[in-house]
Every structure is written in C-alpha cells, then in structure tokens.
Amino acid sequence: MVDVSPLRLSREFRIVFVARLVSIFGLGFAAVALPMQVYQLTGSSLLVATVHTTSAVSVLAGTLVGGMLADRGDRRRLIVIGRASAILGFGALAVNTLVPDQPWLWVIYAVAAFNGFFGSFSAVALQAAAPGFVPRDKLPAAGALLALNGELGSVLAPALGGVIIAAAGMGGNYVITTVLSLFTTVLVWRLPRLEAPEEARAQSVLAAMREGAGFAFRHRVVGPLLLLGLAQMLFAAPQVLINEFTDKVLGGGPTMVGLLYTAPAVGALIGSLTSGWAGRARRTGSLLLVAVALCGLTVFGFGASTWAPLAFLFLVFLGFGQVVEEILRYALLQSHTPDRLRGRVNSVWTAQATIGDSAGALTLGGLAPLIGAAGALMAGGALTVVSVGALAVAFAGLRTAQVLRELAVSPGRPDAEGSR
C-alpha cells in the first residue's frame, strides 16, 4: 500500500499535502463553474474554449516567470502570493454574480488570466520546495502521496462542484472556493522561509535562464525524461477522441462517455494507493520506460476495442500506467536536479506539460478525420511504444537511472549531490 511515512516524518510536507489537496478541490469546483457560467451567458462552446485558452496561456507565462523567481528568492512568499491571488480572483467572480441583469463576461476572462498567471507561482514554488522536506529515499513516496491527492481531487471535486452549484448557485460555488483559498493561504504561511540558494540569486536573469534551460535539456537523466514525457503527451492522450469513439465505434451515449472519462482516474487512484513498492525500486529508469510503454499499449487496446467494458478496462490500465509514470518521474526529476535549479527545471516540465496537452489533443484530433477515431488511437498507442523504444536505445542514462538516495538537505541550502 501507499507509503505514508513522509506525512509522519515532516511537518512541512504535511502542510504541503493538506494545502494542495484543499487547493485541488477548490480549483475543481471552479473548473466546473467557469465553463458552465460562460455557456449559460453566451450559449457558445467557442467562447468556453477561449476562456480555457486564456487560462492556459497565462498558466504558461506564470510558470516560466514563477520558476525563475523560485530560484531567486523566498519560495514560501511565492506560494503565499499564488494562493492569496486565488482569494482575490474567486472573490471577484463571486461578486460578479451579483451584478444586476447578468454577470460581466470580461470579468470572467480577466480572472481566468489573473488566476492562471499568479496561481502558477505557488504550483512551481511548491514543486521546487517539496523535495527538501523529505529524505531522498522517500521521494517516490512523496510523489505517490502528491499524485494521490491529485487523483482524489480529479475524481471527487467536479462532482461536488456540480452539487454545490445545484444547491447554492454559481455565486455559492465561488464563495466556497474563495474560503478554501483563504484556508490554504493561511496554511502555507506556516511553512518556514524557503530562501533560494545564494549562488542562484547572484546570477543575472539571462544567465539564470540559460543555465536552467541548459541543465534541463543536457542532463543525462533530466533531458531524456522531458523527451519521454513529451512523447507520452503527444501520442497517449486519448481523451480528445472519447466522444467520437463512443459514438461511432461503441454506439454509446452520454452515460458511457462519462464512464470512459472517469476510467483513467479510477486506475490512477488504484495505482496511487498501491504504490508502496516504488520506494524500494532500484531500476527506476527502466520501470519508468515500462510504465510509459504500458500507456501506449493500453491506448492501442482502447482503440481496438469494440466492447464498452473492455474499452473501460483499457482506460483503467492507462490511468494506472500514468500515475506510476508520474511517481517515478517525480522521484527521478527531483533527486537529479540540484536545489538551486529546481524552480527553473520544474517550470520547464510544467510548461512542457501545458503545451504537450494541447499538442497531444491536436495530434490525435488531426489524425481522426484521416484514419478514423479507432485508427488514430491505435496509431497513437503504437507511436508511444516506438518512441519509448527509441529513447531507451538512445539514452543509456535513462535506462539505468536511479533515485539518488541521500538525506534531503535543509530547506534553502544547495543540494551538492544533485548538482554532480
């Protein structure tokens, strides 16, 4: 079962775990309310998509700026700024529901951009600071716990958000989200000061950018990790085709679509709860490659399915493979990145994930009109497996990578081993 020892060993990690869980629920409530409100106001799915795009672009910008700031100052301050910005943003949305006639659409766009940009500060700073709160040999366990609260939020928050809107209205949803943001702000304020290492603060901004990008792409483990993650996001992200596949291949309706969307979260939750083995694994890089290959095989199997229960089962295994990949990748990425670079490297990873999600949707979505939804899914799965094989052959450092198992340094101190 999942190893909960990081929660026992570290007060700071307990704070991060609880704050992140509460934050994920708040963001999940808002993720239901925002598109629903825009659609109610406009009746346009295109405008719903533009609000999502506005948020994604601002998240990308905030991630890159936040990563730089996380390596040049107090990371706790950035975390607090990110969470406090959510109070202002969701508070503005709550007030906007009280506008006579109907809420102002421009306020929704402005808050999507504001929360996306400043909220990214807390996400990147937390990623940079969290590895310093636990011993190195507990990084896989820490990654599993963070994945677990993410999956719990993904499974439960949207459903609860819909219940809240039905019971208390759109304004009630935003008020509750504002209160949750206030709670997490107070909680992360209790973290100690998390000053970035002195040598990182002494660099110019351009030199810091060059160093971070150079390390991320040239390191024998971190660089291939980024490439592996990109391959997975480009070819093994079938969500964009679930509606078409359900309609044209499985012959199902909205209920089946909802079940298929839920299936990966079910698998990911099972994977998180049974992740205790990850902390004892030695061939972490090889296991990571197997996990990503499993994702490709399950996407191929999903595309080849003509029976709904089998399609559901393949998506459950996809979620399982994705969370195993996330746990192992987190441990490798954080243990091989020196503390003074963690903000920038994590911002590169987060930016890649933001872009990769959209690029993956375009890749499979572009293939579907040419070879059908089933063909696109099978092609994506096959390309994932081929990419894993190519990366395994090309990068021996990834095949043999292991988590660097040393005690974590105190918050704010350079990580000497990780910089070797």
Mean pLDDT of 49-78: 85
pLDDT in tens, 360-413: 877 888 898 999 999 999 999 999 999 999 999 999 999 999 988 653 343 433
Return the pLDDT at 402: 92
Return the pLDDT at 317: 97
Residue given tokens 């906007």 in the structure block: 96
Asked whether residue 415 carries a pLDDT value surpassing 50, the answer given is: no
Mean pLDDT of 240-249: 88
Please state the separation of Cα 230 from the chain's center in Å.
13
Residue 372, Ramachandran bin (φ over 0: left; ψ between -120 and 50: alpha; else beta): left
36/164 Cα distance (integer angstroms): 13
pLDDT in tens, 80-102: 999 999 999 999 999 999 988 88
Return the pLDDT at 360: 81
What domains can you pick out in the chain, each with its CATH number?
Answer: 1-196 (1.20.1250.20), 201-420 (1.20.1250.20)
pLDDT in tens, 148-172: 887 777 777 877 888 888 888 889 9
95/412 Cα distance (integer angstroms): 39
Return the pLDDT at 45: 65
Return the pLDDT at 405: 67
Return the pLDDT at 60: 85
Provide the sign of the torsion angle of the four alpha carbons 250, 254, 259, 262, taken in this order.
positive
Return the pLDDT at 57: 85
Return the pLDDT at 200: 62
Contact 168, 40 (CB under 8 A): no
Return the pLDDT at 199: 65
pLDDT in tens, 290-349: 999 999 999 999 999 999 999 999 999 999 999 999 999 999 998 999 888 888 888 888
Exposure string for 341-359, b = 16+ CB within 10 A, e = fewer? bbbbbbbbbbbbebebbbe
